[in-house]
Structure 1
Amino acid sequence: MTDTTSDAASPTDSPSVSSSASLPVSPSLTLLGLGAMGTAFARAWLAAGYPLTVWNRTPSRAEALVAEGARPAASAAEAVAASTLVVTCLLDDASVGETLEGADLTGKDLVDLTTGTPSEARTRAVWAEARGARFLSGGIMAVPPMIGTPEAGGYVLYSGSQDLFEAHRTTLAAPAGTRFVGGNPGHAALQDVALLSGMYGMLAGVAHAFALIGGEKDIAPAEFAPLLAEWVAAMSGTIPQIGEQLASGDYESGVTSSLEMQVAGIKTFLGTAADQNVSPELLTPFFDMMRRQAETGGGGEGFAGLVGLLT
């Protein structure tokens, strides 16, 4: 039975109420894809009381969820027909196209939580709209254990149809926080990757830091870790300043440690790495950029001046 209930009617995002009963009724939805992340989302929706239809290419993955109250579908097309809101959480964008190939998407609200590129999301939006569906792309900023656990701080970036987002805001917020980042379908994927890129850069520095102290018997990694975490957190306060400088085009205002000063210290970083028998390969590309910008007139700038070297 196709569900046409929307959870956007109430400005307070309260569940809709059945005309035949006084108990609140949550709108149903369909989830395609039951990997670790899809299963986490499924369990969160079931725990919140949402009628859920599930499908997975390997049917056995649905068994535990069926025992918890989910309705299994024999095919992806059958699963899509069961609800207006259809969520995909699959391996890649190609899997989304293959899975939905035989499904009727007319009148459906398709939310794609599959990890992909911005261009894939934009192309998939056009593809969905040509088949009569509204489309919303999601970038999950969480790992599976954070889903369904509000205090963990996980959230999903959404972009594409704002009408779709507003219509199902409450349902989408049940597993994790929601942040709508604009009507361009590719912006959720873009900001997802941008945030993760910042994370990987940070972890590269963390790996180098632990390698430096790794040969010292008197410095325990577990004891050094809180000190490193505290320092990295403190330094993250420079991020808003970089954003402001990029917006204004003035890369020198408010800079307390210029690239010229930073470059002067590179010798110490490389010397320390050599002393500790640690490869500097995680840092040297960044050091090379600092030198290049300083040598071409950007010595008085902060790190905002390096962004232009990448574009």
Structure 2
Amino acid sequence: MSSQHSIPTAVPSTPVTVTVTVIGLGAMGRALAGALVKAGHPTTVWNRSPGKADELVARGAVLAATAREAVLAGELIIVCVVDYDAAQAILDPLGDALKGRVLVNLTSDLPARSRAAANWAQERSIAYLDGAVMVPTSLVGTPDALLFYAGSRESFDRHEPVLKSLGGKAEFVGADAGLAAVYDLSLLDYFYGSITGLVHAFALAKAEGVRAVDIAPHLDTITRILPAMASGSAATGIDARSYPGEEANLAMMAVSVDHILHAARARGLDTSHLEAIKSVADRAVARGHGADDWTSTIEAVLNP
């Protein structure tokens, strides 16, 4: 019999745990801390007002008595509060304690505020990541949850496994700390514009005696057009400033908007967003884009 060489059995790797602190226990902060606890990371929490940490503590988190105590307990410090004024009011006295740690600011605000916060951190030798959570609290911690990060690439790479505990789609978008906010606001611009159109469509139908539930099954015809446009032709054309309108040109579609506008006015509906759409379209047509695709209206948006 020939001898058989035994094959070494692979030793399962042990997930690396990182001590994490979460400052801010609103609905989103609690969801973030809960995802970290679930992933097995030693998690310390702190909130300006008491009483919001009970459920997290019951699951294994540690409640710090002060913000300084919370910062000193973690290697990775996550802040998620109402705005950057609130964030800086908490962080300003803690510059010395944050030095040598990684600060991840998941507070929503403007790109300029993100860049100012990054400058504040750099002046104090604090590694800084700015971030944006793009999903509701119920999806935080799931594989499909999307979060954007910008700032220190080294910090992102080092702590990516931890950040993926918050959402499986952890996307680093650039060294400019304001970029996560740019992505955040751009996606929300798309969302709020789309859902406003949806609500207005239902209102127009109801004003004519048609129930929203009767219109709803047919909206998919329109909705299915958008993904391909958003991910492909529209974005590519806008970046290239090329707006071929062979299939449907702007001048023709502007007439349709005018019809919707008149129908809504006739029923006494609010038409402010339709008037804004028509105004942009008319300005783009006046600039010579009537034969182009609807995406050519970006020229009127960028240069009003």
TM-score (norm 2): 0.88
Distance 1:303 1:295, change over 3 A: same
Separation of aligned partners in 1, 2:142 and 2:224: 23
Q: Which amino acid aligns with 1:260?
A: A
Please report how far the alpha carbon of residue 68 of structure 1 lies from its aligned counterpart in structure 2 after TM superposition. 1.1
1:231 aligns with 2:222: yes
Structure 2 residue 277 is matched with structure 1 residue 286: yes
Higher mean C-alpha deviation, range 180-189 or range 293-302? 293-302
SS for the counterpart of 2:233 is helix
* Partner of residue 69 from structure 2, selected from 71, 78, 94: 78
Q: Give the letter for the 2:174 counterpart.
A: G
Q: CA RMSD in A?
A: 1.9
Partners of 1:25 and 1:115 in 2: CA distance: 29
- Runs of 5+ unmatched residues, structure 1: 1-14, 18-23
Q: CA deviation at 1:137?
A: 0.4
1:189 corresponding residue in structure 2: 181
CA distance in structure 1 between the aligned counterparts of 2:228 and 2:64, rounded to whole angstroms: 49
1:12 aligns with none
CA distance in 1, matches of 2:59, 2:184: 31
Classify 1:126/1:263 alpha carbon distance in 2 versus 1 (closer, same or farther; 3 Å): same
Offset, 1:25: 4.8
Q: CA deviation at 1:237?
A: 2.4
Sort the Cα spacing of 1:291 and 1:188 in 2 relative to 1 into closer, same or farther, 3 A: same
Q: Which one-letter code corresponds to 2:137 in the other structure? A: P
Which residue matches 2:199? 207
Instruction: Decide which moves more: 301-310 or 34-43.
Output: 301-310
C-alpha distance in structure 2 between counterparts of 1:235 and 1:134, whole Å: 39
Which amino acid in structure 2 is aligned with residue 35 of structure 1?
A: G
> What are the ranges of 5 or more consecutive residues in structure 2 without an aligned counterpart?
1-11
Give the counterpart letter for 2:238 in structure 1: L
Aligned length: 287
Q: 1:255 offset after TM fit, Å?
A: 4.2
Cα distance in 2, alignment partners of residues 83 and 16 from structure 1: 23
The residue aligned with 1:105 is 98
Aligned to 1:126: 119
Indicate conservation of the 8 Å contact 1:242/1:303, yes or no. Answer: no
Rounded Cα–Cα distance in structure 2 between residues aligned with 1:91 and 1:204:
24
Q: Is 2:299 the counterpart of 1:308?
A: yes
Identity of aligned residues (%): 33
Note if contact 2:102-2:155 (Cα within 8 Å) is conserved in structure 1: yes
Partner Cα separation in structure 2 for residue 121 and residue 158 of structure 1: 11
Counterpart among 37, 52, 59 of residue 61 in structure 1: 52
Read off the aligned partner of 1:68 and give its amino acid letter. R
Q: Does the CA-based 8 Å contact 1:40-1:144 persist in structure 2?
A: yes
